[in-house]
Chain A
């Protein structure tokens, strides 16, 4: 078992034990995407030249207002252990393990605009019909897609973004 999988299992166990799996999963997913999109934040949290306590304090300052204590604690634990660079992979693995334990699949969705609960539910239903499995939808707002949605389920990518269409045009050229 790799360190990433070990941490993912531990994070999943803590979230389940607190009875906040869905909320923690969503918060971790959003934090993971934010970490991936910010090199400065990633470098700061993974900089061993900064004391672990200081790095954990940065995490708490960032998440305290918008995340549960469980989420803050899990992220702080990983950052304090010097695993900030692997944190996005840990979160993805944790989400995959959680969904798998419930015989569900996870759809990572990037949208140019926030999706309403109704839209998320309809998207989850549509993806469930398309894949034949129940699907948990995790949405992040990503203005870089310009417009539309791109969904990743396992190794499958369903790209309906303007940026994706522009990329297809670039390949044609």
Chain B
């Protein structure tokens, strides 16, 4: 059609509806029809097929886009749900942490008190032990000094006569024990 119009437009105007040469019009129309038929036979199906394929691709892409949108929406919902759970988890964790911290605090206080009591008991025991040890040492030292003094006095006063008396007493006691 465009070619025909071009041909008609290329002609000089002759004051009539058709160009000057009618045959030329016929041949041109025939050629147009042949070309159109060939195009309708070969080209138009291909174009239509291409258009359909393109339409299918577009539809597929639209479907894919819709699916992606749906997936994205689902993902968003999931994330939102998880976010909600995360908030709950965070709150639970914080609550647990608080409880644990409180328990640790109580335990630490109890342990510190127990350690202090044990330390106090050990210290008192050490003090008692040291006091008893010092008392025993003092008593032992006093006894040693008293006995040393007694031995010195005895040596000083045990003259030959006293020594003989001791021997005789011993013999008498052994004999008496029979």
Contact = CB atoms under 8 A, between A and B. Distances in A.
Interface in A91-125: 111-113, 115, 119, 122-123, 125
Interface in A135-167: 146-149, 151, 158, 160, 162-163, 166
Nearest to A109: B170
Contacts of B175: 122, 125-126, 129-130
Nearest to A150: B170
Interface stretch (B36-44, B52-60, B157-165): B157-165
A170 B166 contact: no
Interface string A8-35: 0000000000000000000000000000
A112 B154 CA distance: 12
B167 A149 contact: yes
Chain A, interface residues (CB within 8 Å), range: 20 to 34
Nearest to B139: A173
Given A146-B155, A146-B158, 5 more contacts: A119-B168, A147-B166, A160-B166, A166-B147, A173-B147
Interface of B: 139-140, 142-144, 146-147, 150-151, 154-155, 158, 160, 162-164, 166-175, 177-178
Contact of A130 (B150, B166, B174): B174
Given A126-B178, A130-B175, A130-B178, A146 B151 contact: yes
A140 to B, nearest CB: 14
Contacts, number: 75
Contacts of A75: none
A169 interface: yes
A47 to B, nearest CB: 34
Contacts of B155: 146
Which 9 interchain pairs have the tightest Cβ spacing?
A: A173-B143, A129-B178, A126-B175, A160-B170, A126-B174, A148-B166, A147-B158, A149-B170, A130-B178
A84 interface: no
Which residue of A113, A147, A149, A151 has the most chain B CB atoms within 10 A of its CB atom?
A147
Which residue of B160, B166, B168 has the most chain A CB atoms within 10 A of its CB atom?
B166
Contacts of B168: 119
